[in-house]
């Protein structure tokens, strides 16, 4: 039996797509093994959101093929022109399959040719990939959207993923039901390149709110979570869905990128600072206890010290619990790469250090505010001899929570109640007393 292994870079969509490709390859008779340096076939799902990300893919492939020069390598996912030039020089790479033909990896492995004429940017064949489980996870990702119509000045993803397309309502519900019934998943994470755009190509307004509520009607599905979501999604209908159903997880990752209006315009973001503030303040007012996370690009071309300080001030004002910081990385062929006033590497590095320190303090303050809150936590790691008498899981609000579990009663995949009691570094713990017997919470 030929052997295979999978290596995934980047976003949750890539993780979903890898799982779908894994199922198709195994159906062909391949056996997956854990050591990618000792397989016949290696599938790499690539990311190139930054130049460094693309370079890491090539470095990983070279490292693996040095250990296993006989392996056949297929690379799929987001692949820039520069990536192609680098990867084509690796002898073991037999195929480079972009996102537009990612659903054909198994066909290509069986001898089918890649299309000479690439599919249109709005081809819906990308949704031909489907999953039946999710290897090694307590939560399953469910892809409902792909592509992007925003064309931010720094981003090449719309060129690699195509235009925004929404997966149809019924197939989403059918796959979700299968994951719950066959896979036993109690939480699904809805993923997409630009989730806020789900339904817009179908003429649906507030379609995402209706989809989430419909998903919650599936017996056994206790929790529905969103991955990154744009600020424009927070309509009254959207917030009303979360008010009506506590099974919709009140964790929102909303990319800000900059707290400076001038820099946002240079980035070609499709919102203003006032729009963003209004949306986040509505969340705090209407969904008390919700956790907000965000992304920030540090050192975008033209960013002054004042622009940088404005970003930190806005992060503080809007009470973000988690902030993902990225130093600006110029991408060839993007508008931002051609802008003037590029910030020096030294300044970007200094601002990244300052931003990390600031965000660590911000996180500590926001976590301390939550001590005493009651939360529902899906256990992901059980207490073991190696780990000690501590179980760990994720709350509906997206907080990593640790539980004392000396008698080992908490099981992976079970949701339990607890009171946030104290800090453990960047994590929080709930006492065993607050859990009671540790038995599964009745939904």
**Of 52-56, 184-188, 426-430, which gets the smallest average pLDDT?**
426-430
- pLDDT over 90 percentage in the chain: 70
**Model confidence at 199: pLDDT above 60:** yes
**Spatial distance between the Cα atoms of 241 and 217, rounded to a whole number of angstroms:** 13
Among 176-180, 391-395, 438-442, the range with the most confident prediction by mean pLDDT is 176-180
- Per the CB < 8 A criterion, the answer to whether 321 and 292 are in contact is yes
Fold category of 1-119 in CATH = Rossmann fold (3.40.50)
Separation CA 128–CA 131 (nearest Å):
10
Structure tokens at 401: 């929570």
Over residues 271-323, the pLDDT tens digits come to 999 999 999 999 999 999 999 999 999 999 999 999 999 999 999 999 999 99
What local confidence, expressed as pLDDT, does residue 121 receive?
60
Q: What are phi and psi of 295, to 5 degrees?
A: -115, 145
Q: If you average pLDDT over residues 226-253, what whole number do you get?
A: 96
DSSP, res 124: G
Query: Where are the chain's structural domains?
Result: 1-119, 374-435
Q: Which is it for strands 291-298 and 322-327: parallel, antiparallel or unpaired?
A: parallel
CB atoms within 10 A of CB 260: 22
């Amino acid at each position: 039996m030929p052997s295979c292994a999978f290596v995934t870079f980047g976003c949750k969509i890539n993780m979903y797509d890898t799982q779908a490709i894994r199922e198709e390859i195994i159906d062909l008779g391949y056996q997956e093994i854990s050591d990618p340096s000792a397989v016949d076939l290696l599938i790499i799902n690539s990311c190139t959101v930054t130049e460094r990300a693309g370079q890491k893919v090539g470095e990983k492939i070279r490292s693996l093929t040095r250990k296993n020069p006989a392996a056949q390598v297929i690379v799929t996912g987001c692949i820039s022109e520069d990536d192609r030039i680098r990867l084509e020089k690796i002898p073991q790479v037999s195929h480079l399959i972009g996102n537009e033909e990612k659903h054909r990896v198994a066909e290509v492995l069986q001898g089918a040719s890649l299309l000479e004429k690439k599919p249109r940017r709005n081809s819906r064949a990308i949704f031909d990939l489907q999953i039946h489980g999710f290897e090694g996870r307590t939560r399953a990702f469910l892809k409902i959207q792909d592509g992007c119509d925003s064309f931010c000045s720094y981003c090449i993803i719309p060129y690699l993923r195509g235009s925004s397309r929404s997966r149809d309502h019924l197939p989403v519900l059918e796959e979700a039901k299968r994951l719950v019934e066959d896979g036993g998943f109690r939480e699904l994470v809805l993923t997409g390149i630009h989730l806020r755009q789900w339904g817009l190509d179908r003429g649906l307004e507030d379609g995402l709110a209706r989809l989430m509520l419909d998903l919650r009607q599936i017996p056994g599905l206790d929790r529905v979570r969103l991955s990154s979501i744009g600020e424009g999604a927070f309509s009254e209908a959207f917030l009303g869905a979360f008010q009506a159903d506590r099974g919709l997880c009140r964790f929102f990752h909303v990319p800000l990128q900059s707290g400076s209006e001038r820099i946002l315009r240079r980035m070609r973001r499709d919102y203003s600072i006032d729009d963003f503030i209004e949306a986040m303040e509505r969340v705090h007012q209407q969904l008390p206890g919700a956790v907000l996370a965000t992304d920030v690009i540090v050192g975008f071309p033209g960013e002054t010290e004042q622009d940088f300080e404005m970003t930190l001030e806005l992060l503080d004002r809007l009470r973000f619990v988690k902030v993902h910081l990225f130093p600006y990385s110029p991408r060839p062929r993007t508008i931002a790469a051609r802008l003037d006033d590029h910030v020096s590497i030294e300044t970007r590095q200094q601002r990244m250090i300052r931003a990390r320190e600031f965000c660590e303090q911000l996180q500590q303050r926001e976590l301390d505010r939550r001590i005493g809150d009651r939360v529902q936590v899906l256990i992901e790691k059980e207490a073991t001899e190696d780990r000690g008498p501590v179980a760990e899981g994720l709350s509906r609000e997206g907080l990593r929570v640790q539980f004392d579990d000396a008698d080992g009663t908490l099981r992976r995949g079970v949701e339990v109640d607890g009171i946030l009691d104290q800090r453990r570094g960047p994590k929080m713990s709930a006492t065993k007393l607050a859990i009671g017997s540790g038995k599964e919470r009745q939904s």
